[in-house]
Chains A and B, each alone.
Chain A
Amino acid sequence: DTGVSQNPRHKITKRGQNVTFRCDPISEHNRLYWYRQTLGQGPEFLTYFQNEAQLEKSRLLSDRFSAERPKGSFSTLEIQRTEQGDSAMYLCASSLDSSGNTIYFGEGSWLTVV
């Protein structure tokens, strides 16, 4: 299966620590997205990349959050000085074009901040 791959799938960290998630999109997909989902809510848009360029960032993405896609392939999402409110599922998705019906989501990375 060459779908969107995310790791780690689960991460438990102490408040104040830094965490990094990795996303490997479907091969040749030029768009890559990060969403966040908390319990009882739908996914919330964080940011997206067109190749290696980060084109849009949500106001949800505080300065403790940074995302990169250095070579236009895989992407990393880093959260510095984690807070309990950062506990959520972080979803990565990719697509070939801008049409919403071709976006494919990964299985998500669960973050628990204790």
Chain B
Amino acid sequence: DQQVKQNSPSLSVQEGRISILNCDYTNSMFDYFLWYKKYPAEGPTFLISISSIKDKNEDGRFTVFLNKSAKHLSLHIVPSQPGDSAVYFCAASPYSGGGADGLTFGKGTHLIIQP
């Protein structure tokens, strides 16, 4: 049973436009959500996070939105740049401190930025 779902295996976006990556979860105990970015042959790199007490967190070109009632979060990247091409993983934790011991990952979305 997949508790964190990223239903789009891949997404293609034109450079300069907005990229929107979606993530749904089923476990209502999840309290902290994170996005990781992964290039080939590298480990995942932390990108941005959000606590369940918030509905939005912004860091430069990256914004994460959380709709707790819908159990849905999204990552917005604007404007999209070629270097953003990577696999993006959504992850969730039942611990408000975001303890990595309890991270559950989605399957990832491969974002491709077209020039």
Interface residues of A (CB under 8 A from B): 4, 31, 33, 40-45, 48, 55-56, 91, 93, 95, 97-108
B16 at the A interface (CB under 8 A) = no
B42 touches A100 (CB 8 A): no
A100 touches B91 (CB 8 A): yes
Q: A42-B4, A45-B101, A91-B43 are in contact. List 19 more A-B contacts (CB 8 A).
A: A4-B43, A42-B91, A44-B105, A45-B104, A48-B101, A91-B44, A98-B99, A99-B98, A99-B100, A100-B32, A100-B98, A101-B46, A102-B46, A103-B46, A104-B43, A105-B44, A107-B41, A107-B42, A107-B43
B89 at the A interface (CB under 8 A) = yes
Size category of the B interface is 20 to 34
- How many Cβ-Cβ contacts under 8 Å join chain A to chain B? 75
B43 touches A42 (CB 8 A): no
Residue in B42, B97, B100 whose CB lies within 8 Å of A48: B100
B111 at the A interface (CB under 8 A) = no
**CA distance in complex: A37, B36 (Å):** 14
Main secondary structure of the interface of B (DSSP, over half): mixed
Chain B CB within 10 Å, residue with most, of A40, A41, A43, A100: A100
B101 touches A55 (CB 8 A): yes
- What is the CB-to-nearest-CB distance from B99 to chain A, in angstroms, rounded to a whole number? 4
B78 at the A interface (CB under 8 A) = no
Given the complex, which residues of B lie within 8 Å of A56, measured CB to CB? Answer: 101
B86 at the A interface (CB under 8 A) = no
Chain A CB within 10 Å, residue with most, of B6, B9, B36, B103: B103
- Show 19 residue pairs from A and B whose CB-CB distance is below 8 angstroms, ordered by the A residue: A31-B100, A33-B101, A40-B9, A41-B108, A42-B4, A42-B6, A42-B106, A48-B100, A56-B101, A91-B43, A98-B97, A100-B34, A100-B99, A103-B46, A104-B46, A105-B36, A105-B43, A105-B44, A106-B43
**CA distance in complex: A100, B36 (Å):** 10
